[in-house]
Amino acid sequence: MCGIVGYIGHQQAADFLIEGLRRLEYRGYDSSGVVFNNGGRFSITKTAGRIDDLAAKLHEAPIRGTIGLGHTRWATHGPATDENAHPHVGGKNIVALVHNGVIENFRALKEQLAERGYYCKSSTDTEVIAQLVAYELDLRGVPAESASAADEYAPLVEAVQAALSQLRGTYGLAMVFRDWPDVIVAARLGSPLVIGIGNDEHYLASDGSPLVGRTNRIVYLADHELAVITSQSIRVVHRDEGHVRHSETVLEIDPTQVELGGFPHYMLKEIFEQPETVTAAVRGRLNRDEATAVFGGLNLTPHQLRAIDRIVLTACGTSWHAAMVGEYLIEAFARIPVEVEYASELRYRNPPMTPSTLLFAITQSGETIDTLAALREMKRKGHPTLAICNVVGSTIAREADGGVYLHAGPEIGVASTKAYTSQCVVMSMLALYFGRMHHLSFEAGLRIIDELTELPRHVEEALDTNDDARRIAAKYASCDNFLYLGRQYNFPTALEGALKLKEISYIHAEGYPAAEMKHGPIALVDEHTPSVFIVPQGGVYHKVISNMEEIKARGGPVIAIVDKDDSHAVELADDVIRVPAVAEFLQPIVTAVPLQLLAYHAAILRGCDVDKPRNLAKSVTVE
């Protein structure tokens, strides 16, 4: 988490830094800061609070400068205070830096540095890096003038690399220097950094979104790479390989995708985008002639894929719920055993795997550190790895052997909505694909294709539940606890509905398999604890109705998400939301929509900041 921006060129840096930080605010938003380097003199403004607070400070006391760095923080070490906000300076103001990541050995380094007279003032791990770089620079005592013109930055690179070699943990780093006033140094290990190429100017950012509208020429920095960036040049040095050629790629984000477009919040905009994002996920991927799905980027031969005898789906948060949907789908359609693993658990576990186990890492951002670590662990053990990812060019997308992009466009609201439904769509197409390689008949494949083709229309209709969701949210927004209950395909939806509510409205909510609720959560039920039942028609419909009876018998209010023409569940429910009837395997997608809307309206009514819920960040790049 945390977002980094940088600018070096001929324009005033402040505008880009503030605008870029706003675009990265989803990565963390408890404090922020900027540094400008004017001929070796640093001007720093930082503050606890949102980017608006930083912008206000800069408005009151503007700073001019054409070289600068900015940072938006999600606290890991030390509370969100002005002092702990980045940038941090090292030594006698000889370096200022911003950091995304975690330095695990910062305590030991802090002690060593203090013994050498380099004292940290903040409680962050980051300041240790600043002091360490300052120490390494001082040790060499090399002012810029003394270096040879041919490689004027060699002493600087050497000092920074010496500092980096002592760090244990992860970093995306950007630094400016007193003695090298015309340069930004960026370095990466585990936390993403993108360099944007402009006209006699360069940009730096944690991802491509701040660069939209500025340039579409970008360079991704890889792990163990360090970049020396001036307004005219980029030189990339790898820890082990020395100077390496950097390759330029095209940033493919449309400016309208990162704007609110008339919606009050990104989350609502993204919920309403789902008919298009679901369409984009399916586009070009259904083959009626073969009654199967088509994926261009799996990079595995049909022979290799047919030999897969076990699939592990790993993810975090909402993506983990999509993985659960995937488990139900793949096992049902393809009869291949599937395991769903929290990435944070998988990375440290050593579960027995068959040689032909395939790993899917499911991630919106492609940067979640636990998911990345789990992917690397499985790769190390020789398993093929595929990514289901939204952000093009993200670390996980690049490190996996192959994968499937969601094509959902940038998701900015911290609570995932459109990425989740697209992940479920991709899971259903993968299930079809693997199914057709094994037992699934041509006719069954064709039926699935027909259903998928109709899905965008059903998602569009599901958005009509907005008024009901708002009305029901108003009725229950003051409750302290909610239960979300569903069975089979709708059990992951219950988990996801509960997560949506708790993450943005701060109402405690638990998702449970509807029948399992009798083994504990039912003790919570009283007239102030609503239960949201996801109960469209299907194999377990009547079983879930019995579970509704059990809640009603204990005086609990029931909110039911039902099919359009439902006649049984509605008799028991206090409040009803009707969604279009779809095949059971697509119910998780269609029923997710009203649950997203319910959470959104509850959060608005409770005065919460839906796009930036407290304590959360969209891209979790720390363990």
Active site residues: 2, 618
Nearer to ligand G6P by Cβ, of 45 and 318: the residue is: 318
Nearer to ligand G6P by Cβ, of 4 and 540: the residue is: 4
Looking only at residues 349 through 368 of this chain, which bind ligand G6P when binding is defined by CB under 6 A?
A: 363-365, 368
Applying CB under 6 A, does 493 fall inside the site for ligand G6P?
Answer: no
Burial (Cβ within 10 Å: 0-12, 13-18, ≥19) of residue 571 = exposed
Nearest of 124, 120, 41 to residue 77 by alpha carbon: 124
Nearer to ligand G6P by Cβ, of 72 and 368: the residue is: 368
Contact between 576 and 568 under an 8 Å Cβ cutoff? The reply is no
User: How far apart are CB 465 and ligand G6P at their closest, in Å?
Assistant: 22
Going from the C-alpha of 319 to that of each of 169, 343, 390, 410, 424, the distances in angstroms are 25, 10, 11, 16, 9
User: How far apart are CB 517 and ligand G6P at their closest, in Å?
Assistant: 24
Q: Is 363 left (phi over 0), alpha (psi -120 to 50) or beta?
A: beta
Q: How far apart are CA 368 and CA 396, in angstroms?
A: 8
Phi (first) and psi of residue 87, to 5 degrees: -70, 160
Applying CB under 6 A, does 605 fall inside the site for ligand G6P?
Answer: no
189 membership: H or E segment, kind and range: strand 184-189
Applying CB under 6 A, does 616 fall inside the site for ligand G6P?
Answer: yes
Site pattern 273..312 for ligand G6P (x: CB under 6 A): ----------------------------------------
- Residue with the closest Cβ to ligand G6P? 317
User: How far apart are CB 499 and ligand G6P at their closest, in Å?
Assistant: 8
Nearer to ligand G6P by Cβ, of 137 and 268: the residue is: 268
Choosing from 68, 70, 90, 317, the residue that interacts with ligand G6P (CB under 6 A) is: 317
Residue 613: cis peptide before it, omega within 30 degrees of 0: no
Applying CB under 6 A, does 416 fall inside the site for ligand G6P?
Answer: yes
Q: Which two tokens stand for residue 545?
A: 């109705």
443 membership: H or E segment, kind and range: helix 442-462
Q: How far apart are CA 619 and CA 511, in angstroms?
A: 23
Which range, of 5-13, 191-199, 269-277, 413-421, touches ligand G6P by CB under 6 A?
A: 413-421
Applying CB under 6 A, does 490 fall inside the site for ligand G6P?
Answer: no
Choosing from 167, 406, 424, 620, the residue that interacts with ligand G6P (CB under 6 A) is: 620
Q: Which two tokens stand for residue 42?
A: 């640093």
- Strands lying side by side in the sheet with 310-315: 338-342, 310-315, 357-363, 385-389, 402-405
Choosing from 8, 164, 323, 414, the residue that interacts with ligand G6P (CB under 6 A) is: 414
User: How far apart are CB 617 and ligand G6P at their closest, in Å?
Assistant: 6
Query: Can you list the pairs that 455-458 forms with residues at least 24 positions away whose Cβ atoms lie under 8 Å?
Result: 455/278, 455/282, 455/425, 455/582, 455/586, 455/589, 455/590, 456/275, 456/276, 456/278, 456/279, 456/282, 457/275, 458/579, 458/580, 458/582, 458/586, 458/590
User: How far apart are CB 232 and ligand G6P at their closest, in Å?
Assistant: 35
Nearer to ligand G6P by Cβ, of 620 and 622: the residue is: 620
* Location of structure tokens 């509960």: 498
User: How far apart are CB 410 and ligand G6P at their closest, in Å?
Assistant: 12
Q: Identity (one letter) of the amino acid at 541?
A: Y
Nearer to ligand G6P by Cβ, of 274 and 363: the residue is: 363
Nearer to ligand G6P by Cβ, of 27 and 436: the residue is: 27
Q: How far apart are CA 414 and CA 100, in angstroms?
A: 18
Choosing from 371, 422, 488, 591, the residue that interacts with ligand G6P (CB under 6 A) is: 371
Q: Is 411 left (phi over 0), alpha (psi -120 to 50) or beta?
A: beta
Nearer to ligand G6P by Cβ, of 364 and 466: the residue is: 364
Which range, of 77-85, 164-172, 305-313, 411-419, touches ligand G6P by CB under 6 A?
A: 411-419
Choosing from 316, 449, 551, 582, the residue that interacts with ligand G6P (CB under 6 A) is: 316
- How many residues bind to ligand G6P according to rule CB under 6 A? 15
Contact between 539 and 488 under an 8 Å Cβ cutoff? The reply is yes
Q: How far apart are CA 311 and CA 382, in angstroms?
A: 14
Choosing from 66, 209, 319, 428, the residue that interacts with ligand G6P (CB under 6 A) is: 319
Which range, of 131-139, 373-381, 409-417, 466-474, touches ligand G6P by CB under 6 A?
A: 409-417
Q: What angle do CA 329, 393, 504 make, to 5 degrees?
A: 60
Nearer to ligand G6P by Cβ, of 395 and 531: the residue is: 395
Q: Which two tokens stand for residue 209?
A: 């979104």
User: How far apart are CB 85 and ligand G6P at their closest, in Å?
Assistant: 22
- Give bridge partners of residue 108 from the DSSP assignment: none
Cα-trace Rg, the chain:
26
- Give bridge partners of residue 513 from the DSSP assignment: 486
Applying CB under 6 A, does 618 fall inside the site for ligand G6P?
Answer: yes
- Give bridge partners of residue 137 from the DSSP assignment: none
Nearer to ligand G6P by Cβ, of 23 and 618: the residue is: 618
The beta-strand segments (E) located in 75-160 are: 88-90, 95-100
Q: Give Cα 279 to chain centroid, integer Å.
A: 21
User: How far apart are CB 368 and ligand G6P at their closest, in Å?
Assistant: 3
Applying CB under 6 A, does 191 fall inside the site for ligand G6P?
Answer: no
* Location of structure tokens 């090298």: 180
Binding site for ligand G6P (CB under 6 A): 316-319, 363-365, 368, 371, 414-416, 616, 618, 620
